C-alpha cells in the first residue's frame, strides 16, 4: 500500500489591521522631568565679604540715639564729661553674651567709681532686651540697634563665618569713649570671659 504524502503546511494568515495594532508593543513612556529640588538651607549664600572697619583711638566717637529695653532714648553726647564703655555684642540670651553681660553687671560698682557708664548694644529688639535683663538682673542699659546703623558707624557689622557658613553680623567689640567724646581704647575680637576686668584696668 502506497504511503500517504505529508500534507503541506498551511501558510499563516496575515493578521488584520486591528489585530496588528494590538500586537504592537506599547509605546515607551516619555522621560519624566526631574523634580524641582528644594533649596538647601545649609548651602552657602552668596554673601559678599565685608571686612571689619573699626574706629581708631583718638577719633571722635560718632554720636547716636538708640532706645533701651523700655523704649527710652539714650544719646551718646548726653554722657559728655563721663567715660562711656560701649560694648557691641551679637545676641541676647546666648552663652558668650550672657557671660559678658554678667561680668559687666558684677563690675558695675567698680566701673562707676572710675567715672564710667556701660552701654550694651546689639541688633536685638527692646522686648528681647527686657527678657535678657530680667533673667540675669542686669544693671545697665541695653540698646537696640535694629537698623544696624550704629553697628555700621562703629565698623563692627561685617562678614562672619561659622562651620563654613558665611553671614553678616556684629563682631564682639568694645570701645571706651573718653570725657571729650573721643575713642580712648578699642578692644576687638573680645573674649567674654574676663573682659569686664580688662576694661576696668584700662580706665
CATH number at residue 153: 3.40.30.10
Tell me the pLDDT band of 49, cut-offs 50, 70 and 90.
low
Question: Would 33 be classed as within a structural domain?
Answer: no
Q: Residue 25 domain-assigned?
A: no
Q: Which of helix, strand or coil describes residue 111?
A: helix
CA angle 191-43-172, nearest 5°? 15
- The whole domain housing 187 covers 65-202
Q: Is the pTM of this model over 0.85?
A: no
13 domain-assigned: no
Helix (H) / strand (E) element for 169: namely strand 165-170
- 34 within a domain of the structure (yes/no): no
51-60, 77-86, 187-196: segment of lowest average pLDDT? 51-60
> Cα(175)–Cα(54) distance, rounded to whole angstroms?
10
**Vertex 129, ends 128 and 130: CA angle to 5°?**
90
**Would the pLDDT of 53 be above 90?**
no
Closest to 172 measured CA to CA, from 99, 69, 107: 99
Sort residue 194 into left (φ over 0), alpha (ψ -120 to 50) or beta.
left
In this predicted model, what pLDDT tens digit does every residue of 1-46 receive, in sequence order? 555 555 555 555 565 666 656 666 666 666 666 555 554 544 445 4
Instruction: Please give the share of the chain, as a percent, with pLDDT higher than 90.
Output: 70
Reported as a single tens digit per residue, the pLDDT across 152-197 is: 999 999 998 888 888 899 999 999 999 999 999 999 999 999 999 9
* Residue 54 lies inside a defined structural domain of this protein: no
Q: Which three cell numbers stand for residue 69?
A: 529695653
Domains: count for the chain:
1
- The question of whether 97 is a catalytic residue gets the answer yes
Task: Report if residue 5 sits inside a domain.
Answer: no
Residue pair 128/72 in contact (Cβ under 8 Å)? The answer is no
Catalytic one among 84, 97, 170, 176? 97
Task: Indicate whether 28 belongs to any domain.
Answer: no
Amino acid at each position: 500500500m502506497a504511503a500517504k504524502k505529508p500534507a503541506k503546511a498551511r501558510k499563516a494568515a496575515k493578521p488584520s489591521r486591528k489585530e496588528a495594532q494590538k500586537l504592537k508593543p506599547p509605546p515607551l513612556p516619555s522621560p519624566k522631568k526631574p523634580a524641582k529640588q528644594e533649596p538647601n538651607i545649609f548651602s552657602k549664600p552668596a554673601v559678599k565679604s565685608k571686612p571689619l572697619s573699626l574706629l581708631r583711638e583718638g577719633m571722635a566717637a560718632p554720636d547716636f540715639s538708640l532706645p533701651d529695653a523700655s523704649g527710652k532714648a539714650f544719646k551718646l553726647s548726653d554722657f559728655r564729661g563721663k567715660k562711656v564703655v560701649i560694648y557691641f555684642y551679637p545676641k541676647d540670651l546666648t552663652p558668650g553674651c550672657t557671660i559678658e553681660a554678667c561680668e559687666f553687671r558684677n563690675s558695675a560698682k567698680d566701673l562707676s567709681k572710675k567715672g564710667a557708664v556701660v552701654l550694651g548694644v546689639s541688633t536685638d529688639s527692646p522686648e528681647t532686651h527686657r527678657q535678657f535683663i530680667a533673667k540675669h538682673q542686669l544693671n545697665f542699659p541695653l540698646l537696640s540697634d535694629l537698623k544696624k546703623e550704629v553697628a555700621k558707624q562703629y565698623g563692627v557689622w561685617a562678614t562672619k563665618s561659622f562651620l563654613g557658613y558665611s553671614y553678616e553680623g556684629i563682631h564682639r567689640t568694645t570701645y571706651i569713649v573718653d570725657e571729650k567724646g573721643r575713642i580712648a581704647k578699642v578692644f576687638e575680637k573680645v573674649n567674654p570671659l574676663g573682659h569686664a576686668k580688662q576694661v576696668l584696668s584700662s580706665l
